[in-house]
Amino acid sequence: MALNRPPVNGSGTTFVALLVYVDDIVITSPSLDTVQQLKSFLHTQFKLKDLGSLKYFLGLEIARSSSGIVLSQRHYTLQLLEDTGFLASKPVSVPMDPKLQLNATDGDLLPEASQYRRLIGRLLYLTLSRPGISYAVHKLSQFMAAPRLPHLQVVHYLLRYLKSRPGQGLFFNSTSSLQLRAFSDADWAACSDSRKSVTGFCVFLGESLISWKAKKQSTVSRSSAKAEYRALATATSELVWIQQLLRDFAIPTSPPTLPFCDSQAAIHIASNPIFHERTKHIEIDCHFVRDKVAAGFVKLMPIRSQHQLADMFTKALPASSLFSLLSKMAIKDIYSPS
């Protein structure tokens, strides 16, 4: 869910960053005086309307309190449900049935594929604040070329899940530490059409979830260890990018970053300086991760599978497992009755 780098300038209390989209500008800085000076300068150059503290931007809703910030897309979700006729639908507890197996050939082709594609496009934007639906949307987006009736039925099932929690969003704690942590996982040979594995990872800054991904791997892995290692390399690459981005924002982080992986085989490959025949085809990933380990940029940490937060990005989970992981990711719905 990464955004392009906004223009930044200054350091310390004079640091300022601008996020510009067409004629909308978001300004942020640790100093309110710096923000006011910049707004005064912009007023001399352009005709501007100051809307005050950020509350709504491109479908994203921002709610503040002394404990932190909640980012959600409640209005966007309700509008989506209204447009599709699911505003009064019966809600379900999970985004996708864990027992369901989708493929590219079962069922009748949809006579009007554009409807399906528009729905997937709107759901993809919703994943900016809803990591819990990332895997389901990732899976459904694979059938956009030739969508079939079972695929559309799963989209409708996902809309019923959104009906149950339209205000769910990300919570960013104001007292969180600035240490990066990552969890990487893979579901080996998960795609029934190509037998390619699914990579899943999530990255935290302190207790705040800031990046995540569910993506089918580009090549077939002949073992679960290789699939896990490719996922680990992808997560490490994301950590490198985020570290650079935070440096641009003048945000100091506490080294080292910690990728958590539940595959002992992948950790052993990353820690072993000697290549074996079975790892030749993932040699580039091996070099990349090992270089980061040797440089002290990352320290690989084992974790039990039941505590693997990235599990929700590699497969559909039952409600009990999904809710447990969402709670650990600081996913909240401030609109639900307490």
Q: Identify the H or E element spanning 312.
A: none
Do 192 and 263 have their domain in common?
yes
Do 273 and 205 have their domain in common?
yes
Do 197 and 239 have their domain in common?
yes
Domain coverage including residue 91: 74-168
**Mean pLDDT, to the nearest integer, of 182-197?**
89
Number of H helices, E strands in the chain: 9, 13
Q: What is the mean pLDDT of the chain?
A: 85
Do 164 and 198 have their domain in common?
no
Do 92 and 199 have their domain in common?
no
Question: What confidence tens digit (pLDDT) does each residue in 20-35 have?
Answer: 888 888 988 888 888 8
Residue reference for tokens 């990300």 = 170
Is residue 322 in a domain? Answer: no
Domain closes at, from 148, 168, 188: 168
Is a pLDDT exceeding 60 seen at residue 110? yes
Question: What confidence tens digit (pLDDT) does each residue in 89-104 have?
Answer: 999 999 999 999 899 9
Is residue 145 in a domain? Answer: yes
Cβ–Cβ under 8 Å, residues 102 and 154: yes
Q: Say how far apart CA 161 and CA 95 lie, in whole Å.
A: 5
Q: Using pLDDT thresholds of 50, 70 and 90, give the confidence band for residue 8.
A: low
**Mean pLDDT, to the nearest integer, of 295-313?**
82
Number of structural domains (the chain) is 3
Q: Using pLDDT thresholds of 50, 70 and 90, give the confidence band for residue 1.
A: very low
CATH no. for residue 218?
3.30.420.10
Do 163 and 201 have their domain in common?
no
Cβ–Cβ under 8 Å, residues 152 and 110: yes
Q: Say how far apart CA 184 and CA 231 lie, in whole Å.
A: 6
Is residue 212 in a domain? Answer: yes
Do 181 and 274 have their domain in common?
yes
State both tokens at 208: 């705040």
Cβ–Cβ under 8 Å, residues 294 and 217: no
Is residue 68 in a domain? Answer: no
Q: Say how far apart CA 313 and CA 310 lie, in whole Å.
A: 6
Question: What confidence tens digit (pLDDT) does each residue in 206-231 have?
Answer: 889 999 999 999 888 888 888 888 88
Do 249 and 137 have their domain in common?
no
